[in-house]
Chains A and B, each alone.
Chain A
Amino acid sequence: MKRLRQILRAVRAQMRAAWMTAMQYRLSFLGEGIVSLLWTGFTVVPLIVAYDYREGIEGWSFNECLIVVGVFIALQGILEGFIHPNLGSVVQLVRRGTLDYVLLKPLDAQLMVSVARSTPLKLPHIGVGLALAGVMAARLPDPPGPAQAGVALLLLLCATAILYSIYVFIVSTSFWFVRVDNLSFLLISVLDTGRFPVVFYTGAVRVFLTFILPVGMMTTYPALALRGLLSPRGALTALAVAAAFLLASRLVWRTAIRRYSSASS
């Protein structure tokens, strides 16, 4: 218990440092907010054009489709604000050998590299996404109640856990290959598939997005929950998958760290 309190205190201290840095540039929040709105527009326009020709596509109306877009944008913000700045820095730590300093500290190294550089700068982006999903869900003929909204948020947390784990897998490869910075951009563009309901994809691509890289689960499931169409079994599957991914990421990280032979010694 004491150990847990210690960890929480360390995490809080690191978060506070990151927030204070960001707060020095308060105007950037406004800029980020405007940019997020702009990009949301860029994401929605192709859908407006497509839905101009059809009332519904594969059982999703325009409004329902925008719920998925909202969830996607929120997840994108989580990735860019809370996952990428942290885990992305590991590649550099490995290359420069400065991971030594992290490993020397008494706290768990994975925990340290996972929270130290979070930036609240992407909160407006997450807010825009959640607002879009929320407004569109409220406009459904059968709007979701607090229970469904809670399940949707829980599923978004699961999605975050899965995304985090995949990023750990990618970063762990840097212990072997050293230069992998732009693999993360590849992940970002694979996540791009999540801006549409997974049923829009056919054949092998849908299989890939369902079973191998569960992007469909990450953005479509929360939207399905808000529509009241997700079975309890589906929600439990998502929880199990997220737990499995987290566990795997822990194992992969432990294996990778054993490979690390500091650059200085």
Chain B
Amino acid sequence: METDGTAPGYLESRKLVKRWSGPWPALANTLLLAILFYATWWIFQDPRGIMRLYTPYVGYMYCRWLLIILIWVAYIFDFWPFRRGWIGRTHPVVKGLVLTAFSVAVMLLIIEGFFMRVLGDYGISYMSPDRLEAMGITRFYALEYATEAIMMFAVIASWLSPAWVVAVENAPWGKLPQPTRGVTIMLVTFLFSTIVYFLTMHSHMAILFYPWQQYTAITPGYWETFANTVSGNFHIGWIMCCTVTVWLYETIWERYPFNLIQTDWLRRLTAFFGIIAIAVALCFFLYYTQDLVWGETIRGTKRLMAPDWRWLHVGEMAIFWLVPMLFLNFYCGNWPTRFSRPVNVLLRTFITIAAAIVLYVVYYKTAHLFLGVQKGFSHPQQFPMIPTIWLINIMLINMWFMDGWPGWKAVPKTTEELAASHQEIVARDVKWSPALGVGLAVGVVGGVAIYVLVVAVLPWLGQMVTIIEGST
């Protein structure tokens, strides 16, 4: 059952070719995504639908864990235990159904088995809805608390698992055969996720209960003064930005600029910590933009003006960016591609930011009309991360499990194409020169100027533009 660790992974070895010329493949797939999204949303999540998992944490937990499992199946396990031959010859629709069913089964095993039964019954009581209920908490909140904790594991893992593949390039286990490599990386990232969980979310969970569980966790969390809240939402903000930055780096940035570093260990370390640095910068900026638009937070108040919600909204804003990022990469051939890599990267960044702003506005103006969610920005049960990640899950299933069917089909890459794709991991297309240095300096000034301009304009924009009447 083991597979060769030196051969390229399935996703790396295939090339997706359009079935039709022009915009038809993208349009066909967009239509398929829309149908699948709305049908599955209605069946599983919609508060007016069939299973109504959007409570919100129950649905959110499943949504986040499915994302992790998809990443594990495609990126970390390279589709093991499914054979490469089967992956290559099976019809995309059949493959999509089988791999999705497999992912869901693994997800349920991990959630219901490992977290709720093993951890919840024998280790951490707040992971078990039954134990919480037995201690007097209403069933609804027992489920919400437990699923919130389990969901947070997934939030952290959805940053660390792909980061290990994308930034650390699977090192030092990249050449191991499957499933050894997959199991090793899964366990390592799971271990790191556990450590990060205890450092970020355990205190949050401990003060959910009265009195504060001060003998089992630091209460309140060490971040209280810095973040102006005792809520773990502060961590959700920067961790979500880490997740988004990993995919930003992997997709529209084509691993630029860290892939210019030729020394393997230095490139991997720089990429891993560089992603965190970029994410923290993004997190602080998105928080600040909210303060500029809506005014400074009032600690202790609710919703729009609350620091805890603003940190959460940082993550939500970042996810709104991830959707067009993936769409551009998957369905638009990572357009534009005609310029040099840095220019392409910059243009894609601007394009996806603009698209994210449009998506953000459209979502808040219309989501309550068709998703069954609450009108407004900051309702405690308004979690735009659920529908956006639900959509992302479907996009990943479509591209990873179904080879982009119906608009695309997979063909094996030639040796030359495989070598070219290696250029993405270690690039040599941008080299140091005096002109590049001058351009860099001018660009830095330009970047700072753009920042200053945005910061200057946002308060005015906040006064002039009303997305939702009352802006709550």
- The yes or no verdict on A and B being binding partners is no
